């Protein structure tokens, strides 16, 4: 769970910080207060006065929780869960929403991978070299567009400096773990060279198949290792900035290479079994081979024009590719070429009102070809215009904003169905933060957000073996022609915009070093797009090909009613329904005395369709967790427990998931506390009781449970 420093301020990165924000910051600070800057919004906000729930994971806490995937790194934060694709490709879930509804960014720009379309596709951010991870819960569409209707996770690093670092500074760190034989090392540095600042960082990581308590898998086998869950990853970044009197301009280049197994992906049992260094059948079992090249350009100018206090430009270009390999040959290839431009201008409106106006452009070309190319090549273009405003009036802080966007999605090669769609999402929000009592601050925020369906949700039509399903997008409909024979046809109904109306209510209660955060939310989404399981099997389908001819997916026409129904995959159909989501997040910290500290959290999400209260699939279970920490000088020890409740509110064709609890312990030693080196040593024991836990949010729930007992050691140093 997120642990807050005594009066930690979560400030927005100020392009031009208004005077009242500086005064308010000073009001809330003590001498030992740690000030944490946040990049996710152009206006100056603190955690206390932000109407929208915002939190930051940074420093030692980020290093202790850092995992291979972004989802696993954030999985214990209040309101955040993970898709848990066997630890190899886990993405964050915010309040029950994931995939194309959660925007993942690197320094404010989209990560430009294909992780939003499938749970087996890895997120390409790297937290081991990050400065901090920022989480915006609830709609953040005003700045980031319709893909942020559920929230934003922004990973911030120092690849492009905006100011001098004061000489040379850097970091290094490493981790070893027993449950998967993890070997992990990262390092980075920034240095001033005249009027420029140079930055270098890199990491390397390798792990084998991870171990679990023995259980019976879907094939009725007793196993204690999740086969084909290895990871090999390496990456690096170089960046440089030129500093001048009224701003900065910088450029960075990063390269990521990653190979990881795809558990649960069935393969031909007759394939040759050749072992690799990980001790599994990597030549027979499929794995992903990923490469990404990324260029970012950032520039900021102070008072460039009359009326504009700060102008910021951010541009990113990404060339992404990953291949799913079988027997050392690519069976399916996914590519993404993406350009993104964000221009933001901060200005003084009138009186105490300050605002930010901007343009956000986005162009994406995705392709998939090969055996599992279940979506056609697509092109997505977005053009958005946004305006935010904020003011402080005595105890009240008012925040508002709007965004208009045009979205065009094309599938040029598509013959069946509609090859192109255009949408015009509109979003608006209004919020207030009120200092009711000296130790009590109340927040309220209402957001209306709209989202255009993604290309995958529109055009999917094929077998997706990673999730063991056959996917059909919104552009298609099923027509029953005979028993066990269904024709896939173009859908006469045009896909609609998702329309979300979200109310957030929050309170921060503070008494000395004791803090309590409470967030309540309710989210009504009309035309919600989700994958609904059907009683149809893929062998029942007849699909027209690009020439209009019928292609029998799984059976011969003359034996339509006699084919083996067990040989196919369950068909999931993207559908649109009106849904309601609501829940809470509570977390607190109590300093019992100088040595003892207690932190605790709980979260809960409920979601169902409004017409018949049908549960949505893969909803996270309620959680309750607590940590007790004892601090003595330059060392501390911690014991914690998280309980995951049973999830019995299941969707159609979905099974219930039993409850489980994880007992964890940790020892931290800071041998050079107070020096310039800031050396830290972490010893962790996770899942001490070796509990078998199934993750309800995972497509591989019954195939890849949580890791078993794990002992790890980590070292982190700064200079």
CA separation, residue 182 to residues 196, 226, 255, 261 (Å): 37, 15, 22, 15
Residue 271: pLDDT band by 50, 70, 90 thresholds?
very low
Residue 265: pLDDT band by 50, 70, 90 thresholds?
low
- Smallest Cα–Cα separation from 228: which of 262, 274, 257? 262
Determine which helix (DSSP H) or strand (DSSP E) holds 521, and give its type and residue range: strand 514-537
518 contacts 510 by C-beta, under 8 angstroms: no
CA separation, residue 151 to residues 100, 238, 358, 656 (Å): 10, 29, 20, 27
Average pLDDT over residues 449-454: 96
Average pLDDT over residues 371-384: 91
Average pLDDT over residues 255-282: 62
Q: Which pLDDT belongs to residue 147?
A: 87
User: Does the pLDDT value for residue 566 go beyond 60?
Assistant: no
Residue 269: pLDDT band by 50, 70, 90 thresholds?
very low
Pairwise CA distance, residues 102 & 300, whole Å: 27
Decide: helix, strand or coil at residue 347: strand
630 contacts 637 by C-beta, under 8 angstroms: yes
Q: Which pLDDT belongs to residue 532?
A: 86
- Smallest Cα–Cα separation from 443: which of 357, 503, 376, 368? 503
Which of residues 61 and 553 earns the better pLDDT score? 61
- Sheet arrangement for strand 132-137: 54-58, 132-137, 151-156, 102-106, 109-110
Pairwise CA distance, residues 38 & 45, whole Å: 9
Q: Which pLDDT belongs to residue 315?
A: 98
Residue 675: pLDDT band by 50, 70, 90 thresholds?
low
Q: What residues contact residue 505 under an 8 Å CB cut-off, 6+ apart?
A: 442, 443, 444, 519, 520, 521
- Smallest Cα–Cα separation from 79: which of 475, 622, 501? 622
User: Does the pLDDT value for residue 26 go beyond 60?
Assistant: no
Average pLDDT over residues 399-415: 92
Give the pLDDT confidence of 521-535 residue by residue, as tens digits.
999 999 999 988 888
Average pLDDT over residues 658-673: 92
66 contacts 128 by C-beta, under 8 angstroms: yes
Give the pLDDT confidence of 50-76 residue by residue, as tens digits.
778 888 898 888 988 999 999 999 999
Decide: helix, strand or coil at residue 518: strand
Which of residues 284 and 163 earns the better pLDDT score? 163
487 contacts 481 by C-beta, under 8 angstroms: yes
The widest CA-to-CA distance across the chain, in whole angstroms, is 82
CA 699 from centroid of its chain's CA atoms? 16
Q: What residues contact residue 682 under an 8 Å CB cut-off, 6+ apart?
A: 63, 64, 666, 667, 668, 712, 713, 714, 715, 716
- Burial of 674 from C-beta contacts in 10 A (0-12 / 13-18 / 19+): exposed
Determine which helix (DSSP H) or strand (DSSP E) holds 659, and give its type and residue range: none
Average pLDDT over residues 621-628: 97
Percent of the chain with pLDDT over 90: 66
Q: Which pLDDT belongs to residue 39?
A: 67
Q: Which pLDDT belongs to residue 558?
A: 40
> Which conformational region is residue 242 in: left (phi greater than 0), alpha (psi within -120 to 50 degrees), or beta?
beta
Q: Which pLDDT belongs to residue 373?
A: 84
The two counts, helices (H) then strands (E), for the chain are 5, 40
Q: Which pLDDT belongs to residue 92?
A: 95
- Say which range, 217-226, 369-378, 626-635, has the weakest mean pLDDT: 369-378
Q: Which pLDDT belongs to residue 49?
A: 62
Side-chain half-sphere of 611: how many Cα atoms within 13 Å?
6
CA 445 from centroid of its chain's CA atoms? 22
Decide: helix, strand or coil at residue 146: helix
Q: Which pLDDT belongs to residue 578?
A: 98
Q: What is the set of domains in the chain, with CATH numbers?
A: 9-718 (2.40.170.20)
Q: Which pLDDT belongs to residue 33?
A: 35
Percent of the chain with pLDDT over 70: 87
Residue 339: pLDDT band by 50, 70, 90 thresholds?
very high
- Burial of 178 from C-beta contacts in 10 A (0-12 / 13-18 / 19+): middle
Give the pLDDT confidence of 178-232 residue by residue, as tens digits.
999 999 999 999 999 999 999 999 999 999 999 999 999 888 899 999 999 999 9
Q: Which pLDDT belongs to residue 34?
A: 42
Q: Which pLDDT belongs to residue 73?
A: 95
Q: Which pLDDT belongs to residue 186?
A: 97
Q: What is the mean pLDDT of the chain?
A: 86
Average pLDDT over residues 108-114: 93
Residue 44: pLDDT band by 50, 70, 90 thresholds?
low
Decide: helix, strand or coil at residue 614: coil
Average pLDDT over residues 96-121: 92
User: Does the pLDDT value for residue 9 go beyond 50?
Assistant: no
569 contacts 522 by C-beta, under 8 angstroms: no
Residue 633: pLDDT band by 50, 70, 90 thresholds?
confident
CA separation, residue 119 to residues 69, 82, 386, 411, 698 (Å): 12, 10, 31, 22, 8
Give the pLDDT confidence of 113-155 residue by residue, as tens digits.
999 888 899 999 999 999 999 999 988 888 888 889 999 999 9
User: Does the pLDDT value for residue 565 go beyond 50?
Assistant: no
Which of residues 13 and 710 earns the better pLDDT score? 710
- In DSSP terms, 429 is beta-bridged to 401, 447
- In DSSP terms, 330 is beta-bridged to 325
- Burial of 421 from C-beta contacts in 10 A (0-12 / 13-18 / 19+): buried
604 contacts 543 by C-beta, under 8 angstroms: no
User: Does the pLDDT value for residue 279 go beyond 90?
Assistant: no
Q: Which pLDDT belongs to residue 270?
A: 36
User: Does the pLDDT value for residue 23 go beyond 50?
Assistant: no
Q: Which pLDDT belongs to residue 17?
A: 33
Overall size of the chain counted in residues: 719
User: Does the pLDDT value for residue 267 go beyond 70?
Assistant: no
């Amino acid at each position: 769970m997120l642990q807050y420093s005594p009066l930690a301020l979560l400030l927005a990165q100020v392009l031009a910080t208004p005077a009242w924000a500086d005064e308010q910051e000073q009001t809330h600070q003590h001498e030992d207060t740690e000030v944490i800057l946040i990049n996710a919004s152009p206006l100056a906000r603190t955690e206390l006065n932000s109407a929208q729930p915002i939190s930051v994971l940074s420093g030692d806490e980020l290093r202790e929780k850092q995992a291979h995937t972004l989802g696993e790194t954030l999985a214990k934060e209040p309101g955040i869960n993970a898709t848990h694709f066997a630890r190899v490709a886990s993405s964050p879930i915010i309040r029950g929403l994931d995939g194309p509804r959660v925007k993942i960014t690197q320094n404010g720009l989209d990560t430009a991978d294909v992780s939003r379309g499938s749970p087996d596709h890895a997120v390409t951010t790297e937290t081991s070299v990050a400065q901090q991870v920022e989480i915006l819960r609830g709609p953040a569409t005003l700045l980031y567009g319709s893909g942020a209707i559920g929230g934003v996770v922004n990973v911030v690093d120092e690849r492009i400096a905006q100011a001098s670092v004061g000489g040379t500074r850097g970091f290094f760190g490493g981790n070893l773990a027993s449950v998967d034989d993890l070997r992990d090392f990262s390092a980075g540095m920034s240095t001033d060279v005249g009027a420029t600042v140079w930055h270098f960082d890199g990491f390397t990581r390798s792990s084998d198949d991870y171990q679990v308590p023995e259980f019976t898998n879907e094939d009725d086998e007793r196993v204690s290792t999740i086969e084909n869950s290895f990871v090999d990853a390496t990456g690096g970044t170089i960046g440089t900035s030129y500093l001048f009197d009224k701003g900065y301009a910088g450029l960075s280049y990063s390269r990521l290479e990653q190979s990881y197994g795809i558990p649960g992906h069935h393969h031909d049992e007759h394939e040759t079994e050749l072992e690799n260094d990980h001790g599994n059948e990597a030549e027979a079992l499929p794995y992903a081979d990923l490469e990404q090249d990324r260029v970012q350009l950032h520039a900021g100018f102070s008072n460039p024009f009359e009326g504009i206090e700060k102008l910021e430009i951010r541009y990113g270009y990404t060339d992404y590719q990953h291949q799913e390999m079988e027997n050392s040959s690519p069976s399916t290839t996914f590519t993404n070429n993406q350009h993104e431009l964000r221009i933001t201008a901060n200005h003084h409106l009138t009186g105490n009102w300050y605002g930010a106006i901007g343009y956000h452009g986005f162009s994406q070309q995705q392709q998939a070809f090969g055996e599992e190319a279940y979506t056609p090549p697509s092109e997505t273009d977005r053009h958005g215009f946004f305006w935010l405003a904020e003011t402080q009036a005595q105890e009240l802080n008012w925040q508002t904003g709007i965004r208009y966007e045009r979205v065009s999605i094309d599938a040029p090669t598509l013959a069946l169905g509609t090859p192109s769609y255009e949408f015009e999402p509109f979003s608006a929000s209004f919020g207030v933060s009120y200092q009711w009592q000296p130790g009590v601050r109340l927040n309220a925020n209402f957001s209306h957000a709209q989202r255009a369906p993604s290309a995958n949700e529109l055009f999917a039509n094929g077998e997706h073996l990673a999730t063991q399903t056959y996917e059909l997008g919104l552009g298609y409909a099923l027509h029953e022609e005979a028993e066990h024979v269904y024709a896939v046809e173009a859908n006469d109904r045009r896909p609609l915009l998702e329309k979300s109306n979200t109310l957030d209510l929050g309170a921060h209660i503070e008494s000395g070093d004791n803090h309590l955060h409470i967030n309540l939310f309710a989210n009504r989404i009309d035309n919600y797009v989700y994958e609904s399981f059907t009683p149809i099997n893929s062998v029942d389908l007849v699909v027209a090909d690009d020439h209009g001819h019928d292609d029998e997916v799984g059976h011969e026409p003359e034996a339509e009613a006699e084919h083996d129904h067990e040989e196919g995959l369950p068909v999931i159909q993207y559908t649109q329904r009106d849904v309601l989501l609501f829940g809470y997040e509570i977390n607190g910290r109590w300093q019992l005395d100088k040595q003892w500290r207690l932190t605790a959290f709980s979260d809960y999400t409920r979601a169902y369709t409004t017409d018949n209260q049908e549960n949505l699939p893969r909803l996270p279970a309620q959680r309750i967790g607590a940590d007790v920490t004892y601090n003595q000088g330059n060392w501390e020890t911690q014991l914690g427990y998280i309980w995951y409740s049973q999830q019995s509110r299941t969707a159609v064709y979905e099974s219930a998931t039993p409850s489980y609890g994880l007992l964890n312990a940790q020892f931290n030693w800071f041998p050079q506390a107070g020096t310039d080196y800031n050396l830290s040593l972490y010893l962790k024991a996770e899942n001490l009781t070796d509990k078998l836990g199934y993750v309800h949010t995972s497509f591989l729930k019954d195939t890849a449970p949580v890791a078993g007992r794990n002992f790890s050691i980590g070292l982190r140093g700064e200079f």
